[in-house]
Structure 1
Amino acid sequence: MTIDYARARVAMVEQQVRPWDVLDARVLETISRVPREAFVSDAHRALAYSDLELPLGHGESMLKPVVEGRALQALELEPGDEVLEIGTGSGYLTACLAYLARDVLSLERHADLADAARGRLEAQGIANVDVVTADVFAWETDRRFDAICVGGAVDIVPERFVQWLRPGGRMFIVRGRAPAMEAVQVRRDGDGVNATHIESLFETGLAYLAGAAPVPQFTL
């Protein structure tokens, strides 16, 4: 059976993403134009537009379309923005970020996933992305970003992530401990104590970033 991916993309936007309160016109346009099937393995291509997390290897998964849509909306991206993505994964969300912003620096700890994502992005003619193989908790930079998109959960929002935001910058991240995880928008309003505002967006559950899971607590 031949799948009409263009029709499936429209159905995903109208039946999944938009009903999940993704109403930003630029975000909806971007999701409508980026071919999600081009970022999915052959084994899972028929499920590219399903309301599912799709496996990528190494225990990693592609986020559900509704979560991707809400993440893009929460970042409030402008065409001149510089974006840091933590967790390249398939490269699909990277592509969406690239359409919405000026440039994207994307970190991926697994070299094979990073290589595959680079190939997919190049095949789509997306040139304003730099995919770097790195563990975010060992990575250092003097750069500051207008937006940070985090593709895995954390127990507590790392201060180093917040410091990478410019004043006025926004971060999408999932925090907490299952079953009480929540997606939040972190906004850095300025420098110093109490310069960060956190807004709860929705309840969800994601696998933890490597190195960001809760420390096990032992009781006698």
Structure 2
Amino acid sequence: MQQEFNDPLWRTVLSGAQMLFVAFGALVLMPLITGLDPNVALFTAGLGTILFQIVTGRQVPVFLASSFAFITPIILAKGQFGLAATMGGVMAAGFVYTFLGLAVKIKGTGFIDRLLPPVVIGPVIISIGLAMAPIAANMAMGKAGDGAELIHYQTAMMISMPALLTTLIVAVFGKGIFRLVPIISGVLVGFAMAFYFGVVDTAKIAAAPWFAIPHFTAPEFNWQAILF
């Protein structure tokens, strides 16, 4: 058993599983914040991940999820142009990503490094993190992203704090294979605490259909929304 866990394949599986948990949270949170359909995000992320693994020959244990960089533009574009035009703008951004990928494959990463040096990328990442910090704090306190209370404060803290402490302890003091899974450890502890305090609603899980078609929105290509 010890030899199996020391096998690189197990490390790849664990790394991929942890990436799945991390990306899944972001994947569902992003459409909830922007008012989009999480089921569509799940479907497209799964399809995109399958295509990514096929193209890369399964060399990277990655699960593709939502980009938090799009949260503010999507919210503003929805209010100004509507959902369909906003989806058209998102598709146009996806095509730009594709063309940039082809350019990197042909020319290498040199022009990207010149166009977007660390001094530019760093502040963008910092601003995204600072914008998400209040949402994370609200969720830890049992509130929605807009501050509306979902769970009593004390109950929420009894769930979120053990999960956070478990993640930190495993990340800092974990040995061997356990050091690879701090996020999974925190998720398991958080779910166990949520189940203990009766926060997990199994009735909705039981009532949910096994198979359902997501509510797709046909994109509308509006030049103003695309440029926005």
Same fold, TM exceeding 0.5? no
Higher helix share: 2
For the pair shown, the structure with the greater C-alpha radius of gyration is 2
What TM-score do you get using the length of structure 1 for normalisation?
0.27
Q: Which has the higher contact order (CA 8 A, sep 6+)?
A: 2
What TM-score do you get using the length of structure 2 for normalisation?
0.26
